[in-house]
Amino acid sequence: MVVSEVVPVVAVLGRGVVDAADPVLTADDLGLTRGDGCFDSARVVTAPSGAARVVDLDEHLARLAASAAAMAIDPPTHEQWRHLVTQALAAWSTPGEAVLKLLLTRGREWRPSGSTAIVTITHRGPALPTTRGGAHTPPRSITAVTLSRGHPSDAFTDAPWLLGGIKTLSYAVNAAATREARRRGADDVIFTTTDGFALDGPTSGLVVARDGVLTSTPTGATGILESVTVAAILEAARGDGLGAAYDLVPVPDLYTADAVWLVSSGRGPVLVTVLDGRALRVDDDLAAKVSRYAGF
Amino acid sequence: MVVSEVVPVVAVLGRGVVDAADPVLTADDLGLTRGDGCFDSARVVTAPSGAARVVDLDEHLARLAASAAAMAIDPPTHEQWRHLVTQALAAWSTPGEAVLKLLLTRGREWRPSGSTAIVTITHRGPALPTTRGGAHTPPRSITAVTLSRGHPSDAFTDAPWLLGGIKTLSYAVNAAATREARRRGADDVIFTTTDGFALDGPTSGLVVARDGVLTSTPTGATGILESVTVAAILEAARGDGLGAAYDLVPVPDLYTADAVWLVSSGRGPVLVTVLDGRALRVDDDLAAKVSRYAGF
C-alpha cells in the first residue's frame, strides 16, 4: 500500500487532471463490478528541477494495448494515452521515484460509454541510489514465502479466456497472497504451480541465478505476466557474457540458487534473502550487476 | 450486460442515493485498482403498486459478511447495509423483477477511508411467470459450452489466499469465459476442472438431475461459490421426496443427465438444452418442480 504525503496526480480521459479525492468511476463501471479491465505500471523519475520522465513508456503502452486486445476492450489510441500522460506529468513535480499507472476498464454497464481510461502518478520516495558508474550500494532485499497459485504449469495452454499473461484489474488473489505473506512474517510471495514449479510474485517477475545463468519463468502456458524489466535484465545479462533463459524452475531449486530476485518496473530487482524461513545465498557482485542491467 | 431503459438506483454508504450517472469511486479505490472487494446479488420483486421487497436479504448479507471476513475487509454492519438497502428500495418503484447488488471494496489506497459500500438496483423485466399453483409454463432455457477453469478439483484445499468460495470483484475471467461462449454461439458456460469434473457457471451454480437425484458441485476444495438458490432447490427437493447431494459430476455425465440447470438468484434455475453443440435431455415435469423449489 502506497500511503504517501505527496498528493498523487489523477488524470481521466475526457476530463483531464482532477483532484485525487474526486470520484471518477460510476457504480456500474465494469472495472469495479467485475474487475473487467487491465492496467500497466511504469517508472517515473523526476529530477530535482521537477522535470519528470516516464521510463519505457512505449513498451508499457504496447503491453497495455495487447492486454486490451486480448480482453476485447476498445482502448484509447497511443496518442490519447500519451496526451493523458503528458497532462499528468505536467501536474507532477516531486523529485525522486514515482509510479505511473495506466488503468483501462471496459466502461459502463448500464449505457454505452466506451472504455474508461485513467492515469495516476504516486510518489515512491527519494531517487534510488544507482550502481551505475561503479558505485557499490548494498542490494535491497526482502523475505518471501512460496504459495500455491492453484493451477498446473500448463493450465493456460489453449485457454485464452483464463486471461493468462494479462495485467487485468482482477488482482484480489494477488492482494490476498501478499496479506498471507505478511501473516507469515514475510514481505512477499513466490507463487508455485500444483506440479511443483516457481511462477512469479503477486506484483513482480522472478529471476533465479545458478552457475552463471539467469533464468526466468516462461510466459504462455504458465499464465504469468511478461515483465518489461525481467526482459531487460536477461537481455543485458546476455550482452554481458552471462547465460539467460526462460525455463521452469523447480521449487526446490530456489533454496539452492546463487541468488533469487523479484523484479518490477517500479522498484527494480529486489533480492530475496529468506524464502519460507530458509536463508538464501546472496552474491553481492551479481546483485550489483543485475541492478545495473535493470537500470537501477 | 443489462442495458435497461429504466434508470437504475445507486446508493452509497455515507452519501445515500445518488444519480446513477454520478461518479462514486476514486481512482485509488482498491475495488478498481485490484478488484479487491466482494459483492452479493439478490432478487428484488416489485408489485404493480410499486412496493419492492428483497428476497432472502438476510442470507445475502450473511454471505457478504463471510466474504468480507475472508478478505479481511472491515465491512459495514448489517444495520448499515439494511439502511442503505432501504434507501435504495425507497427510490425504486418499477414493477417486476430487479437485481439488488451489494458492492464492498477495501476502500482507498492513498489515504485511510474505511471500506467503500455501494448498493445498486437494476431492472430485469416484467414479473416472471410463476409455476406456483400448478400453472405450467414452458421452462426457460439456454445453450452452453464447457470451458476449463485451469485448476484441479482440489486446488483450493488449505489455500485461503486463492479466495475460493468468495464472490470477489475480480471477475475478469468469468466475463472473458462468457465472451468465449458467445464467440462459440452459446449463451453461457459450465466451467470444468483439469481433472475432468464440472464446476459451475461464471455467474451461476450448477444442478444436475439423474435417476431422481439432484446433484450440485461441492464448495470448499473446488473453490466454487456457495449458491443460496442451489441450496434452496436441493433442500426443497429433499422435502419433496427426491434425492439431493453435493458431489463432483464428471464432465461426460453432463451429456447423459436427465436435466442440467444453471442457477442464480436473479434468474432462478435455467435449463441447459444444448451443451457443446450436443442436445441435452429435458424433463419438463422436473423442470417445473425445480423452478418451484427455487421460488420462481
A25 and B32 in contact by Cβ < 8 A?
yes
> C-alpha grid cell for residue B127?
414479473
Q: What is the pLDDT of residue B107?
A: 97
Contacts of B122 in chain A (CB under 8 A): 110
CB-CB contact of A186 with A143 (8 Å): yes
Distance CA B76, CA B74 (A): 7
Q: Calculate the dihedral angle through the C-alpha atoms of B129, B132, B135, B141, rounding to the nearest 10 degrees.
A: 50
Distance CA B35, CA A36 (A): 9
Residue A55 CB contacts under 8 Å (≥ 6 apart), including other chains: A42, A43, A44, A45, A265, A295
With CA atoms as reference, the chain B residue closest to A167 would be B34
Question: In the numeric block, which cell numbers belong to residue B200?
Answer: 459451475
Give the pLDDT score at A128: 55
Inter-chain contact B35–A169, Cβ cutoff 8 Å? yes
DSSP lists the bridge partners of residue A101 as A41, A120
Average confidence score pLDDT of chain A: 93
- The count of other CB atoms within 10 Å of the CB of residue B220 is 14
Q: Does an H or E element contain B210, and which? A: strand B205-210
Q: Give the strand pairing for B9-12 and B16-18.
A: antiparallel
pLDDT in tens, A16-33: 999 999 999 999 999 999
pLDDT at A263 over 70: yes
What distances in angstroms separate CA A101 from CA A7, A117, A289, B293, one per listed residue? Answer: 15, 11, 27, 48
Q: What are phi and psi of A34, to 5 degrees?
A: -135, 5
3-state class (DSSP) for residue A141:
strand
| CATH 3.30.470.10 residue ranges for chain B | 9-127
A152–B152 C-beta distance less than 8 A = yes
Do the beta carbons of residue A176 and residue A170 sit within 8 Å? no
In sequence order, which residues have a C-beta less than 8 Å from that of residue B166 and are 6 or more positions away?
B38, B66, B67, B70, B71, B225
Question: What residue spans in chain B does CATH classification 3.20.10.10 cover?
Answer: 133-293
A277: number of Cβ within 10 Å:
10
| CATH 3.20.10.10 assigned to A133-293 | yes
Q: What is the pLDDT of residues B93-102, one digit of tens each?
A: 999 999 999 9
Q: Do A27 and B27 touch (CB under 8 A)?
A: no
Inter-chain contact B32–A36, Cβ cutoff 8 Å?
no
Question: What's the gap between Cα B269 and its chain centre?
Answer: 11
pLDDT band per the 50, 70, 90 thresholds, residue B128: low
Look at A35-49, A244-258, B124-138, B204-218 and tell me which has the smallest mean pLDDT: B124-138
Looking at the partner chain, which of A26, A110, A161 has a beta carbon nearest the beta carbon of B23? A26
For chain B, the residue count is 296
A50 pLDDT tier (thresholds 50, 70, 90): very high
Fold of A9-127: D-amino Acid Aminotransferase; Chain A, domain 1 (3.30.470)
Residue A42 has, within 13 A of its CA and on its CB side, a CA count of 22
Instruction: Identify the weakest region by mean pLDDT among A3-17, B199-213, B227-241.
Output: A3-17
Q: Which residue of A has its CA nearest to B170?
A: A170
Q: Provide the residue count of chain A.
A: 296
> Longest Cα pair distance anywhere in chain A, in angstroms?
57
**B182 pLDDT exceeds 80?**
yes
